Structure 1
Amino acid sequence: MTSPEHLTIQIGNKIKGIRKEKGWKLGEFADKSGMSIAMLSKIENGRVIPTIPSLMQIINTLNLNLADFFSDLKVDGDFNGFIFRKKEDYVSLSKEEDSVGYHYQMILNFPIDKASMEISLLTLDSHAQREKLSTSGFEYIYLIKGKLTYELGDETLEMEEGDSLFFDGEMPHVPKNTQSNEAILLVVYFITMN
């Protein structure tokens, strides 16, 4: 499932890319569109969901066809219990117009109502052992170091450094390190509150 925030980031990145292709600075874009620099910056950086009139004003200023603008925006399918992302699929973001050396990548954006969060660092020794288990809430795994096999329900996922996995903790799961070196994972638990 694609959240509105994810779609907003895609729209903002596309607007910024087209503006830069035209060689316009943000101030020039603001003058041409009649919108403020601050608002355009927030829209481009995915911090604000543009209103339909604002989006139409931007699209018209960029001299774009409405259908073409939306044609390549990605919308994921329904959430089937987990989201597995290879590091090459992360979305690059440029949040501040004049920043140098700041490289953001959006790994995951998924809304969860009424949840608390717990963050842990898990080190798995070579050939660590454990049975599959289920937990309440959702889990997010980011593999910092090593390689591992993640058994999740009926799926077997091969994870490498930089890959991430988000899933419903009710699915039986276990990470397995069959390598000779340790694996290090960042684990974020989203514990749902009833």
Structure 2
Amino acid sequence: MSNDTQPRLRLEQYLGMQIKRQRQEQELKLADVARIANISQGMLSKIENAQVSTSLEILSRLCDVLGMPMSKLFSQYDQPDGSALLVKAGEGLEVVRRGTEKGHTYRLLNHTRGPKKNFEAYMVSMDDASEEFPTFAHPGTEFLHLLEGELVYRHGNQLYHMQAGDSLTFEGEVPHGPEQLLHVPIRLLSIMNYSKDS
């Protein structure tokens, strides 16, 4: 059986495991944590073993007792168990960006919740050759790879004629964007790197 068919932990199981792990790492007794959090020992045991759903208030008290922020409790829940994120064709998270109102579709290919990523990858689809385009400017470096179609892309005062298979890398803070769509439909892979390392 492949990894992508394994069922995800229920939220109660995940929270219980996190609380139990945190308590055991600090070598705290179940009875002491329950007493300070003002819940019964039996209730804490049921929470840790996913035998009961509990309120956010109780979870908040447990986090306080264990000295962990509530956000940490949930931060890894919907991240994959392994070290890689597989996004199947057509399944990227559709997001709203400048240009969406022009009929462009942006699919975020490295969607995970949690800490801010140091890069974002988008599949951009454009199919109306007659439209005007927004200009973009953002921190970091951007890499474009044209998978399908043909266009003229502007970066600052320079124009770049791109055909399928061509790539373009540039500083994101300089205004940029499509200038003219020569052959539609267009599919463009856009990767933005926000890393501070040079």
Q: TM-score, normalised by structure 2?
A: 0.37
Identify which of structures 1 and 2 has the higher relative contact order when contacts are C-alpha pairs closer than 8 Å and 6+ apart: 1
Whose Rg is larger? 2
